[in-house]
Amino acid sequence: MATNDELAKIFGEMAEILEITGANRFRVNAHARVARVLKDMTIDVASLVDDPKALTEIDGIGDASAKKIIEYVRTGKVKEHQQLLKEIPAGLLDVLKIPGLGPKTVKLLWEQADVTSITTLKKAIDSGDLEDLPRMGAKTIQNIKDSIAFVAKSSRRVRLGQALPVAEAIVELLRDVSGTKQVQYAGSLRRGLETIGDIDILATTTKPAELAEAFRTMEDVSKVLAAGETKSSIRLKTGMQVDLRIVDDAVFGAALAYFTGSKQHNVVMRERAIKKKLRLNEYGLFPDDGIDEPPQKRGIRPVAAKTEESIFKRLGLPWIPPEIREDRGEFNISKDSPPALIELADIKAELHTHTTDSDGHMTIDQLGEAAKTWGFHTVAVTDHSKSSAQANGLSEDRLRAQIDAVHEANERVKGITILAGSEVDILSDGRLDYDDDLLAELDIVIASPHVALRQPTEKCTARLLQAIRHPLVHILGHPTGRMINAREGLHPDINALVEAAAEYNTALELNANFYRLDLRDIHVKAAVDAGALVSINTDAHATDQFDQMRLGVLTARRGWLTANSCINTWTRQKLLKWLNAKK
């Protein structure tokens, strides 16, 4: 929603400026948290400003922040934001976006080298003005130069489905290096974010030099950015940056928790430690003796460090799955009954696929056989409807012929149930692409938006609600129609959709294709809170795309989905009973 995005940007900029200018950590964190809360909201914050109490009831938004939100909605600006912008050069925020440049370094560059923009940073590098600054050796300056060039070339984050296989391949390679004991990817990738910046790898080994050398000389490395004793950084030929940190085996859990994040989750963890007279960092959980010097440098032993579980337990918490470490309520989880988030092994059915009859690359028989190898008891053929001409959508006659073909395939392909379905276009006015008489002949109907993907919120919400309420629709497919890093898609009122879905017993799809991941994580959480059903599907057009189911499960876990609320986890009997109830 535009207002939420605009305000999130404003609060984010205020946090960055406060950090650059040296404001206290509490003010910085408070503004950063509001930015994140606003970005994650599924309702338009502008609808709440007439009731300030409704704003302050949102976790993370206090009285002062609520006043700023109200001020922006009513005036189009935030006075404090305008004042803070005057405290630094306008281009300094762009400098902060350069990989490797944190607020302290940006402040140093500004105050001692008159760097006020990326342009002046380039000039300072070329003139040699940075060489006399603290911690600005030749290698550091070259890395900044390389990062500037990299940002200019590719400013987008990498999609989850592209980064995950790369990280897994690196982890497997490093595990085979002599002396390696533990290797794990961390960061936003471990939390399952839809896009990834850098890939973070943590490792323990008895031969650190050999492990670092193996990492830096991997086949796909285009440039070595850093080659220290405990940290190495490389850039791959694809443009992705990968960082390897080698830590002691005794503190692996603390390092893994720290570098997994998120930043806000870690802030709360440290605050919780402080309340218990403890001190938490990437080296472990230590007694807090009030001395500023890091305890690990003074030889103090941590009370917990080897495993993440030990740290959470010592802080009075259950182990929190990485996917929900976003400070979105995970600290309120009961130690005795933590949520059993959905797992890949829970998935027993694939309900959205395409065959050679439309734009897929599998015959119906091949689809059935592939689904069996994944251990599914049911798979649905859901080729495109007639309006999707670009995808060879099926006419009414072709669809009827396909229904017969699916029934025949069911006799040939043993050990799996193949459903006859369709991914039916939701037309711009909310009508479906086939008449009800034909829809009633199908085992499963997915209604999806493929056109008019720039409709305003009110109009697209009404359109999608019409599909949800249709008595023959089982699943609302990829509700926003977005394509990550390529197309923004629709901005419907998600709360209205999930409430209607719960009322009409219609499932909302989490499309697991890594270009979509739609529903996105915060939308899944809204569905969970409303008691709506979710269906996780790969939208597979080829057999190798079934593997993307794990990306959907990662996103579902970020939305706190449990197996019971996902129709793909149900038994064959329960699933068919639910499908038949819509006829």
**Domain ranges, ordered by start, for the chain:** 2-85, 92-153, 158-246, 251-331, 344-580
Q: Report the alpha-carbon distance of residue 549 to residue 567 in Å, rounded.
A: 14
CB-based burial label for 190 (10 Å; 0-12, 13-18, 19+): buried
DSSP string, 491-542: ---HHHHHHHHHHHT-EEEEE--TTT-BS-HHHHHHHHHHT--EEEE--BSS
Domain 158-246, what fold? Beta Polymerase; domain 2 (3.30.460)
Using only the alpha carbons of the chain, give its radius of gyration: 26
Residues 6+ apart with CB under 8 A from 488: 482
Structural tokens at position 215: 């990492």
Amino acid at 43: I
Read off φ and ψ for residue 199, nearest 5 degrees.
-100, 125
Instruction: Give kind and range of the element (H or E) at residue 151.
Output: helix 138-153
pLDDT score for 529: 96
Structural tokens at position 424: 């039916």
CB-based burial label for 276 (10 Å; 0-12, 13-18, 19+): middle
Amino acid at 135: R
pLDDT values of the chain reduced to their tens digit, one per residue, 583 residues: 578 888 999 999 999 899 888 888 888 888 988 988 888 788 888 888 888 788 988 888 999 999 999 999 899 899 999 999 999 998 898 888 887 788 888 888 998 999 999 999 999 898 888 888 888 888 888 888 888 876 665 556 899 999 999 999 999 999 999 999 999 999 999 999 999 989 999 999 999 999 999 999 999 999 999 998 899 999 998 889 999 999 999 999 999 999 999 999 999 999 999 999 999 999 999 999 888 888 888 889 999 999 999 999 999 999 999 999 999 999 999 887 888 999 999 999 999 999 999 999 999 999 999 999 999 999 999 999 999 988 899 999 999 999 999 999 999 999 999 999 999 999 999 999 999 999 999 999 999 999 999 899 999 999 999 999 999 999 999 999 999 887 889 999 999 999 999 999 999 999 999 999 999 999 999 999 999 999 999 999 999 999 999 999 999 999 999 999 999 999 999 999 999 998 7
Structural tokens at position 289: 């003796």
Structural tokens at position 446: 């997915």
CB-based burial label for 533 (10 Å; 0-12, 13-18, 19+): buried
The answer to whether 555 touches 194, Cβ cutoff 8 Å, is yes
Q: Report the alpha-carbon distance of residue 211 to residue 244 in Å, rounded.
A: 10
pLDDT score for 579: 98
DSSP string, 91-139: THHHHHTSTT--HHHHHHHHHHH---SHHHHHHHHHHTTTTTSTT--HH
CATH number given to 251-331: 3.30.210.10
- Classify the C-alpha dihedral 320-322-324-326 as positive or negative: positive
| CB count in 10 Å sphere of residue 315 | 17
pLDDT score for 152: 67
Structural tokens at position 119: 């342009």
In 3D space, the residue among 242, 237, 240, 187 whose CA is nearest the CA of residue 212 turns out to be: 242
Domain 92-153, what fold? DNA polymerase; domain 1 (1.10.150)
pLDDT score for 6: 87
In 3D space, the residue among 197, 190, 195, 201 whose CA is nearest the CA of residue 324 turns out to be: 190
Q: Report the alpha-carbon distance of residue 82 to residue 84 in Å, rounded.
A: 6
Task: Please report, for residues 29, 83, 106, 134, 292, the alpha-carbon distance to residue 22 in angstroms, rounded to integers and kept in the order given.
Answer: 13, 15, 11, 18, 18
Instruction: Give kind and range of the element (H or E) at residue 445.
Output: strand 444-448
Amino acid at 282: E
Residues 6+ apart with CB under 8 A from 424: 385, 432, 433, 434, 439, 445, 446, 447, 448, 473
Q: Report the alpha-carbon distance of residue 511 to residue 489 in Å, rounded.
A: 14
Residues 6+ apart with CB under 8 A from 212: 227, 229, 232, 244, 246
Within 386-486, residue ranges assigned H as helices are 396-412, 436-439, 457-469
Domain 344-580, what fold? TIM Barrel (3.20.20)
Structural tokens at position 263: 């930043």
Residues 6+ apart with CB under 8 A from 490: 449, 453, 454, 455, 460, 464, 479, 480, 481, 482
Q: Are domains 2-85 and 344-580 of this chain identical in fold?
A: no
Q: Report the alpha-carbon distance of residue 572 to residue 107 in Å, rounded.
A: 61
Residues 6+ apart with CB under 8 A from 43: 1, 493, 494, 495
In degrees, rounded to 5, the angle at the alpha carbon of residue 416 between the alpha carbons of residues 414 and 421 is: 120
CATH class name, domain 2-85: mainly alpha
pLDDT score for 79: 94
pLDDT score for 261: 92
pLDDT score for 3: 83
